[in-house]
């Protein structure tokens, strides 16, 4: 399987923030942004693997600056690292004040997808080739994030076992 460049999976989406997208603080709902992150990351995952993909985990969403109705919001995503069947997608969220033109990174996110083959089981994905400084940095630091994901998944499985729904409560 031939490796692919990060830029081959890049997806970009820019939208306005409307009043119905905001909470009582007049900032973008975090859940709305998280939904948008999952949507654009799924495009990057499918572009890279050219298969069906499912969200395996949302490693992090770090809200750095509030996004308001005066802003547009631009989401940029691409595959930053791959395992055998998994893909780490980096999503950068940039807000732009539409009156002043000031731009800031409002949030960042890492989300993991798994490629699914025709048989419904995880399938192999191509390796990724970083080119830019950002891509190289994210690719170089990805194994550490992958190890953290593995430990968190192990802990989540242990918690789910403990919380067995068949256990009587009360």
* Burial class of residue 77 in the structure, from the number of CB atoms within 10 Å of its CB (0-12 exposed, 13-18 middle, 19+ buried): buried
**CA dist., res. 20 & res. 129, Å (int):** 40
Q: What is the pLDDT of residue 102?
A: 98
Q: Write out pLDDT tens, residues 43-61.
A: 999 999 999 999 999 988 9
pTM, to two decimals: 0.91
Which sequence spans correspond to the domains of the chain?
4-162
Q: Write out pLDDT tens, residues 114-155.
A: 999 999 999 999 999 999 999 999 999 999 999 999 999 999
**CA dist., res. 94 & res. 36, Å (int):** 13
Q: What is the pLDDT of residue 129?
A: 98
**CA dist., res. 41 & res. 11, Å (int):** 8
* Burial class of residue 58 in the structure, from the number of CB atoms within 10 Å of its CB (0-12 exposed, 13-18 middle, 19+ buried): middle
Structure tokens at 8: 């081959």
Could you say which of 3.40.50.300, 3.10.129.10, 3.40.47.40, 3.40.50.2300 is the CATH number of the domain covering 4-162? 3.10.129.10
**Contact residues for 19 (Cβ-Cβ < 8 A; gap 6+):** 69
Structure tokens at 124: 């192999």
**CA dist., res. 123 & res. 102, Å (int):** 43
Mean pLDDT of the chain: 95
**70: region left, alpha or beta (phi > 0 left; psi from -120 to 50 alpha):** alpha
């Amino acid at each position: 399987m031939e490796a692919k460049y990060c830029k081959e999976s890049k997806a970009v989406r820019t939208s306005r923030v409307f009043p119905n997208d905001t909470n009582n603080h007049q900032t973008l709902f975090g859940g709305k942004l998280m939904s948008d992150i999952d949507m654009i990351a799924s495009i990057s995952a499918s572009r890279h693997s050219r298969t069906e993909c499912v969200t395996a985990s949302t490693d992090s969403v770090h809200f750095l600056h509030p996004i308001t109705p005066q802003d547009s919001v631009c989401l940029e995503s691409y595959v930053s690292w791959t395992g055998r069947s998994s893909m780490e997608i980096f999503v950068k969220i940039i807000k732009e004040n539409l009156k002043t033109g000031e731009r800031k990174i409002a949030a960042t996110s890492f989300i993991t997808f798994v490629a699914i083959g025709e048989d419904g089981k995880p399938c192999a994905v191509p390796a990724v080739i970083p080119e830019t400084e950002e891509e190289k940095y994210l690719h170089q630091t990805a194994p550490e994030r992958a190890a953290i994901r593995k430990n968190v998944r192990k802990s989540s499985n242990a918690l789910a076992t403990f919380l067995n729904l068949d256990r009587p409560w009360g």
